[in-house]
Amino acid sequence: MNIEDHIWKLATRKLCHEATEDELLELSILLNEHPDIGREVKLLFIWWSYDDEQAAVSRSERMFNRIKEKIKRFERLIKNN
């Protein structure tokens, strides 16, 4: 396996939260030693992080809307009784 493939393998393990501490350290060292690949990998990390944040916001908004709907149903129930 060449070094670029190895870096991408470690990056993938990091993104999947499967990397060990030793693998994360190795990845950090390799990214510093190979800045050409490092830029691409770091951009992927930024994109992945942004996507995770957007998914969390979306989940939060859905949960908030569900809570609002429950409150509205409860208010209608109280009003009708």
User: Looking at residue 57, what is its pLDDT?
Assistant: 62
pLDDT greater than 60 at residue 80: yes
Tokens linked to 51: 């996507």
Q: For residue 48, what are the contacts with CB-CB under 8 A and spacing of at least 6?
A: 15
> How far apart are alpha carbons 64 and 53 in whole angstroms?
16
Give the pLDDT confidence of 42-65 residue by residue, as tens digits.
888 888 775 556 656 677 777 888
Question: pLDDT-derived band of residue 68, with 50, 70 and 90 as boundaries?
Answer: confident
Q: Which residue do the tokens 């930024």 mark?
A: 46
Q: Which of 17-21, 40-44, 63-67 has the highest mean pLDDT?
A: 17-21
Q: Which pLDDT score, from 0 to 100, does residue 43 have?
A: 86
pTM for the model stands at 0.57
Between CA 53 and CA 66 the distance in angstroms is: 20
